Amino acid sequence: MTSENPSPRLAGDLSDQAYAETRAPYFRKPVTRLLPTARMTARDLFVAAREAGGPLRTLSEVYLGWEHMLSRPNQAAWLAIAGAYVPFGLGETLCAMMRMRAFDVLVTTPAQLTHDLTEVRGLRHYHGDELANDNELQRLDINRYWNVYGDEHELNTNDEVVHDFAETLRDDRTYTSSEYFFRFGTWLQTSRHMGADGMLTTSARLGIPIFCPSPGDGDITSDLAHYRKRTGRKIIIDPVREILDMVALNAALEDAGGRAGIVTLGGGAPRNYGQQAMACAYMLDRADLKRYNYGLRISLDPVGTGGLSGSTISEGKTWKKYAADTSIAEHFGEYMGPMFQIGSALLEAFEATPRDAAFTCRYDDAGDLIVTIAGADVNLPRTYGYA
């Protein structure tokens, strides 16, 4: 039996002018029905996806924000990246992005730089199986990174490379991890160990600093402990000075009329380390720093844990890491598939008008970080008063 006067399904009446006018702004921009074509480029896909909804739009917004950031004059870009991207094949992607200046600063883990060292030596990672018998792999000295294998015999020979490089270092002063990687990458290019270009060699050649939040957490640096045991020489990594270098780098940029933005791929220590280069401005008595003006992020980490990895860019404003007017784009998902596409799209976007570096970095014989910016060399420790 059907009621002659059914209950209304809708809350409002379109004949009510106020109701209709209040609703109207929500329907001004329809979602585009995406139609792929045979000749669409990587950049075409991101531009088209901007008119879609859901994760298609959020990923597109991250890419387009990155492109827009790089197109601004006097704009620097930091990249903080975690995860096993080098064994999965993205080391060369990072190198290509360095060469086209997709970022001016890299913040990553020593584990990935260890894998990069392996590939710089001409060694490889191999297709594997996540369902392999791990007990057998252990017996056969095969390392597994999800569905990729590494030869532990080959990895262990990095120890000798670190030994050879450490012999060139002084034991009467300390090194920041960034200086250590800069000198390692420079040394590799003319050493007998050089087999292919990698992040270490490319960054050293182009003056892109690599900052590392956990210098003891990877063979490329932890093998210094073995070197100490074998030789008695103490090569000391100073993580405290690096914090001051990072803050001073952003101060020098802003003092030259520039701004810095940051892209974070994944979470973990690299993300926090890169962001605190603004939050720690007080250490140089630089509360006047304007903070990052772009916050672009791809991460699988949920916000509800309260951890740094999943926190939103907006939350980071409360920690003085981002400016109040920061341009924000965030995508919830894994970053490695999109990163390969983003790298290709950025190469396309800047092919006709290559981007110039916001600055370049090198280290003098005393270990001071020298930044070339706006045509002038700036000794950061001397300029900003720290040792």
Instruction: Kindly list the structural domains of the chain, giving each domain's residue range(s) and its CATH number in brackets, ordered by start.
Output: 58-121+171-224+237-358 (3.40.910.10)
Rounded to whole angstroms, the Cα distance separating 315 from 267 reads 14
Per-residue pLDDT at 3: 56
**CA angle, residues 32, 33, 37, in degrees to nearest 5:** 110
Rounded to whole angstroms, the Cα distance separating 278 from 248 reads 10
Per-residue pLDDT at 4: 65
With contact defined as beta carbons under 8 Å apart, do 59 and 338 qualify?
Answer: yes
Cα Rg of the chain, angstroms: 24
**How many Cβ atoms from other residues are within 10 Å of residue 285's Cβ?**
10
Per-residue pLDDT at 382: 98
Looking only at Cα atoms, what is the longest distance across the chain? 95
Rounded to whole angstroms, the Cα distance separating 64 from 84 reads 25
With contact defined as beta carbons under 8 Å apart, do 54 and 239 qualify?
Answer: no
pLDDT in tens, the chain (387 residues): 555 666 678 889 999 999 999 999 999 999 999 999 999 999 999 999 999 999 999 999 999 999 999 999 999 999 999 999 999 999 999 999 999 999 999 999 999 999 999 999 999 999 999 999 999 999 999 999 999 999 999 999 999 999 999 999 999 999 999 999 999 999 999 999 999 999 999 999 999 999 999 998 999 999 999 999 999 999 999 999 999 999 999 999 999 999 999 999 998 899 999 999 999 999 999 999 999 999 999 999 999 888 889 999 999 999 999 999 999 999 999 999 999 999 999 999 999 999 999 999 999 999 999 999 999 999 999 999 999
Among positive and negative, which fits the CA dihedral 291, 295, 301, 304? positive
Per-residue pLDDT at 11: 87
Main-chain phi, psi angles of 240, to 5 degrees: -70, -45
**How many Cβ atoms from other residues are within 10 Å of residue 216's Cβ?**
13
Rounded to whole angstroms, the Cα distance separating 145 from 112 reads 12
| pTM higher than the cut 0.85 | yes
Strands 142-145 and 126-127, bridge-based pairing: unpaired
Per-residue pLDDT at 269: 94
> Which candidate, 207, 237, 224, places its Cα nearest to that of 363?
207
Rounded to whole angstroms, the Cα distance separating 281 from 251 reads 8
**Secondary structure of the chain in the HEC alphabet?**
CCCCCCCCCCCCCCCCHHHHHHHHHHHCCCCCCCCCCCCCCHHHHHHHHCCCCHHHHHHHHHHHHHHHHHHCCCEEEEEEECCCCHHHHHHHHHHHHHHCCCCCEEECCHHHHHHHHHHHCCCCCEECCCCCCHHHHHHCCEEEECCEEEEHHHHHCHHHHHHHHHCCCCCCCCECHHHHHHHHHHHHCCCCCCCCCCHHHHHHHHCCCEECCCCCCCHHHHHHHHHHHHHCCCCCECHHHHHHHHHHHHHHHHHCCCEEEEEEECCHHHHHHHHHHHHHHHHHCCCCCCCEEEEEEEECCCHHHCCCCCCCHHHHHCCCCEEEEEEEEEEECCCHHHHHHHHHHHHHHCCCCCCCCCCEEEECCCCCEEEEECCEEEEHHHHHCCC
Main-chain phi, psi angles of 249, to 5 degrees: -60, -45
Rounded to whole angstroms, the Cα distance separating 271 from 107 reads 8
Among positive and negative, which fits the CA dihedral 344, 349, 353, 357? negative
With contact defined as beta carbons under 8 Å apart, do 119 and 150 qualify?
Answer: no
> Which candidate, 105, 92, 315, 321, places its Cα nearest to that of 203?
105
End-to-end CA separation in angstroms for the chain? 87
Per-residue pLDDT at 245: 98
